[in-house]
Structures are given as structure tokens and as C-alpha cells.
């Protein structure tokens, strides 16, 4: 790792003031940012990188996804949600094994890294394999084993998803100075029962873990919970102590004003997934109102099976304009609001010191080529990043102080091997002979 000096760039710091630092020098020491300024720092560096006048910004935080589901990109399109899940997605997932999950994870990482993501929060199964691939790729991750509970009998000590969560925590939580954090997880209110909520919440408090939960993604989920418990999903989980730790609530499309007040009070972050919510017909989360209510908001792509991409720049554009459109207010969200969701606010949601270019923060940095026709002219860096940049405009990805991608080259992934594993192993396993 050593020391690296990035210079000749326009650095969007993502500090409170929204500073854009022209002719910036950003020094990196090991996994962290050592200094940021407009004069060359003292001393020598193991490596100096001329950024060619391009835009340097914090790496993006994809705060809710299911990365192995990249294997299911575009699978089972053209049917309603129930049919899609039950006749297409679940049967394919039933056939997954660790090797296929590694292949899907590698494929997702290739897409994520090339489009500027340096941190993810993932919820899935085969988490040991996922984590191992993420560690090798070099980005940071909050890993959660999605836990459901339908049966009446439940023992936290022996229930498989809970056993796996504990093993994950023991093996990986805090690994490599926090590259990996393991979050506790309840898949959702509608896929589990209070026994799980109570035990998982208690375990999270004991181990000081974060919590990752799907909340009020669809109207039916939200309404059926109210019928079942007389409360919204957010509120019934609150009654069982689920939010008494750092927590991320994914989707929140149908949450209420009372939910938002409680989320703000408990410091629970909402993770907005506009593309998935639109594509599946779930609706549009009330993000501007949640923001006004004081809720911290991050951004995620959700799994590629319902997106069907891992491009956080695309996700930012959706987040930036969908609320203007449905509220008929061209100022509902501004570019800096959305950049914050995708960087510092996502970092806060995940309990991480990243998402800003500031001394002491993790050196997660990406470079965007502003010389391309689609980014010319540049009247506003923030506007161009949110409305005009595609993930493919990212030309460098530095994660935890390591350059893991530059000008189309991956330094920690073997893309050809991953593609072979997908086509020769995972595809036949899940979908039969080609």
C-alpha cells in the first residue's frame, strides 16, 4: 500500500459545505487519507498519480444489495411479482451452492468496482463465500445473512441462519481494520416471527452489531402487517427492540409519518432503492418528506434481479429526478442531496468512516473522466455527476488505499475466470444445460 499522492484533480470533498477543491492534492497513507489541500504536502510518496484535471470524489456506498443475484439478471421478466418470485427466482436460488455464489459475487464485484463502488451492504446466504470474494477484491462490506423464520419452533443457538450469523461474526466481524463488518439481520417482518426479532436484536446489542432489515417495500407487506399486529412493520419491530442498535431499513416505500419520526429518533437509516421499487411496481418512497423528518437516507441498487444493474450513478439519477416528477417540484431533491445519499450518508448508515475526502477517513476514492462528450461542458460538477455521469465514466477506483481498477483494468479480479465460472458452472447448475 504505502503512500500515494493524487494531484491535478477537482476534489468534491462531500463535507458539510459541499466543497469542490480545484487543483487539489490528496495524500493517502496505507488505508487512510492522510491530508487534503491545495498545496503540495511535504515529503515524498511511493506513487504519484496525475488525475488529468478530472473529478475525484469519495467511492460510492451501495447500501442495500444482494450481489450473488447478479446471476439472475433479467431472469423471469414479464410476469407479475408473485409468479416471478415463486416460479422463477426462488427455484433458481434453491439450486445455488457456494461455488455459484462465488461466481455471481465476482461478476457483481466487477460491475460495482468499474462503476465506482467501494463499499456495499449485502444481505444474502452463502455469506462466507461472499465475504471471502469481497475481501480479495478489496472493497469494504457490511455482510448480513438474511434470516427468515416461518416455523413455530425456534432456538437461536441451533437455528441455521442464526448459527451462520454467529459464525460469520466470529470469523469476519472487524476483519482487516473493519474492511468487513457483519450486521445482524431480519429479512423482513413478513418473512419472520417475534422469536427471531427478539433474539436477533438481543444478539446485535450484545455484540454491538448493526442490523439490516427489509421494511415496507410493498403495500401488501405493509397492510398485512397492520392487520396482523395493529402496527406498521417499523413499529412492531421497534416494540421488539430491533432498532436499539445502528440499523438500516431497506426500501421504506410505504412507511408513515409516525414511522419517520421514530426512525429519526432511533437514528435508523432508510436505504432508498428507486430503480427496484419502480421496476417491481412497489411505488416511490417519500424520500423528500423523510429527509425533512430528519431520517438519514442512503442509496442502494437492490439485487440485480430487480434492477437490472449495479450502476450507482444511474441509481443517483433516478433518485434525483423521480421525486421532482411525482411531487411536481423541480427542487424536491438537489444534486448534492443525492450525492450525500450515495456517499457520506450511506457511510453513516453502515457505521463507517468513509464517503468523505477528509484526513483520517478511509481512502475510498474514485476518479471520473470529465473530458468525455457526455460530461461536456461542465457548468456544475455536482449536476454533471448526478444527471450526466454513467458508471462507465469512472476511470479509477481506489478502495482502502489500493488502486483496484484503472482505465478498464482490474487489479484484484480475474474477469475472464469469473465469466468462465458463470457460464460453465453457475448457469448450468441453476438453469440446466445451455
Site for a copy of itself in 286-315 (CB under 8 A): 304, 307-311, 314
Stretch that binds a copy of itself, among 2-10, 58-66, 186-194, 282-290 (CB under 8 A): 282-290
415 Cβ neighbours under 8 A, 6+ residues apart? 110
Strand 394-399 to 402-406 pairing:
antiparallel
CB of 290 to a copy of itself, least distance (A): 17
CB of 77 to a copy of itself, least distance (A): 5
What's the rounded Cα separation, in Å, for the pair 234 and 339?
Answer: 26
- Nearest to 93, CA basis, from 121, 125, 123: 125
130 Cβ neighbours under 8 A, 6+ residues apart? 67, 68, 101, 102, 105, 122, 124, 141, 143
Q: What is residue 362's DSSP assignment?
A: B
Residues 213-272 that bind a copy of itself (CB under 8 A): 219
Residue tagged 421532482 (cell numbers): 324
Stretch that binds a copy of itself, among 7-15, 190-198, 347-355, 415-423 (CB under 8 A): 415-423
Closer CB to a copy of itself, 271 or 280, in the complex: 280
Stretch that binds a copy of itself, among 25-33, 191-199, 241-249, 382-390 (CB under 8 A): 382-390
Stretch that binds a copy of itself, among 56-64, 193-201, 353-361, 417-425 (CB under 8 A): 417-425
What's the rounded Cα separation, in Å, for the pair 131 and 122?
Answer: 10
Determine the longest span between alpha carbons in the chain, in angstroms: 66
Q: What is residue 392's DSSP assignment?
A: G
Site string for a copy of itself, 393-412 (x = CB under 8 A): x-------------------
The cell numbers describing 364, all together, are 475510498
The CA-to-CA distance between both ends of the chain, in Å, stands at 43
CB of 370 to a copy of itself, least distance (A): 11
Binding residue (CB under 8 A) for a copy of itself from 1, 81, 198, 264: 81
# residues contacting a copy of itself (CB under 8 A)? 71
- Nearest to 141, CA basis, from 111, 116, 117: 117
What is each CA distance from 93 to 2, 16, 69, 306, 408, in whole angstroms? 42, 42, 8, 14, 31
Binding residue (CB under 8 A) for a copy of itself from 374, 414, 424, 428: 374
Counting other chains too, the contacts that 224-229 makes at CB distance below 8 Å and 24 or more residues apart are 224/190, 225/189, 225/190
CB of 318 to a copy of itself, least distance (A): 8
Binding residue (CB under 8 A) for a copy of itself from 55, 56, 72, 200: 72
CB of 303 to a copy of itself, least distance (A): 13
What's the rounded Cα separation, in Å, for the pair 208 and 110?
Answer: 31
- Does 120 help bind a copy of itself (rule: CB under 8 A)? no
Binding residue (CB under 8 A) for a copy of itself from 280, 347, 395, 398: 280
- Does 377 help bind a copy of itself (rule: CB under 8 A)? yes
- Does 328 help bind a copy of itself (rule: CB under 8 A)? yes
Amino acid at each position: 500500500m504505502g503512500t500515494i499522492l493524487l494531484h491535478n484533480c477537482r476534489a468534491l470533498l462531500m463535507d458539510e459545505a459541499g466543497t469542490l477543491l480545484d487543483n487539489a492534492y490528496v495524500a493517502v497513507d496505507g488505508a487512510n487519507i492522510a491530508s487534503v489541500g491545495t498545496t503540495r504536502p511535504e515529503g515524498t510518496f511511493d506513487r504519484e498519480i496525475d488525475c488529468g484535471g478530472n473529478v475525484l470524489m469519495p467511492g460510492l456506498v451501495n447500501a442495500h444489495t444482494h450481489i450473488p443475484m447478479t446471476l439472475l439478471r433479467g431472469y423471469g421478466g414479464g410476469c407479475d411479482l408473485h409468479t416471478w418470485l415463486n416460479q422463477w427466482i426462488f427455484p433458481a436460488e434453491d439450486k445455488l451452492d457456494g461455488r455459484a455464489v462465488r461466481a455471481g459475487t465476482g461478476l457483481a464485484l466487477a460491475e460495482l468496482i468499474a462503476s465506482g463502488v467501494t463499499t456495499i451492504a449485502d444481505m444474502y446466504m452463502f455469506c462466507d463465500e461472499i465475504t471471502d470474494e469481497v475481501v480479495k477484491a478489496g472493497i469494504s462490506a457490511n455482510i448480513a445473512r438474511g434470516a427468515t423464520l416461518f416455523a413455530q419452533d425456534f432456538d437461536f443457538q441451533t437455528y441455521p441462519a442464526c448459527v451462520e450469523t454467529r459464525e460469520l461474526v466470529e470469523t469476519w466481524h472487524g476483519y482487516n481494520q473493519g474492511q468487513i463488518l457483519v450486521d445482524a439481520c431480519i429479512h423482513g417482518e413478513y418473512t419472520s416471527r417475534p422469536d427471531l426479532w427478539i433474539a436477533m436484536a438481543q444478539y446485535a446489542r450484545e455484540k454491538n452489531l448493526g442490523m439490516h432489515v427489509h421494511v415496507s417495500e410493498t403495500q401488501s407487506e405493509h397492510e398485512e402487517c397492520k392487520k396482523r399486529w395493529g402496527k406498521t412493520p417499523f413499529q412492531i419491530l421497534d416494540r421488539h427492540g430491533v432498532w436499539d442498535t445502528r440499523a438500516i431499513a431497506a426500501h421504506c416505500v410505504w412507511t408513515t409519518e409516525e414511522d419517520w419520526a421514530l426512525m429519526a429518533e432511533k437514528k435508523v437509516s432508510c436505504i432508498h432503492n428507486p430503480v427496484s421499487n419502480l421496476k417491481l411496481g412497489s411505488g416511490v418512497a417519500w424520500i423528500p418528506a423523510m429527509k425533512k423528518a430528519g431520517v438519514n437516507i442512503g442509496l442502494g441498487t437492490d439485487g440485480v434481479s430487480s434492477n437490472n444493474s449495479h450502476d450507482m450513478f444511474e441509481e443517483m439519477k433516478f433518485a434525483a429526478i423521480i421525486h421532482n416528477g411525482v411531487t411536481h417540484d423541480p427542487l424536491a431533491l438537489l444534486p448534492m442531496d443525492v450525492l450525500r445519499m450515495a456517499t457520506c450518508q450511506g457511510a453513516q448508515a453502515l457505521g463507517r468512516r468513509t464517503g468523505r475526502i477528509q484526513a483520517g477517513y478511509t481512502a475510498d476514492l474514485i476518479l471520473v473522466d470529465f473530458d468525455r462528450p457526455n460530461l461536456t461542458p461542465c457548468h456544475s460538477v455536482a449536476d454533471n455527476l448526478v444527471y450526466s455521469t454513467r458508471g462507465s465514466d469512472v476511470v479509477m477506483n481506489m478502495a482502502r488505499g489500493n488502486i483496484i481498477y484503472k482505465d478498464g483494468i482490474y487489479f484484484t479480479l480475474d474477469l475472464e475466470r469469473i465469466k468462465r465460472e458463470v457460464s460453465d458452472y453457475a448457469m448450468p447448475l441453476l438453469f440446466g444445460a445451455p
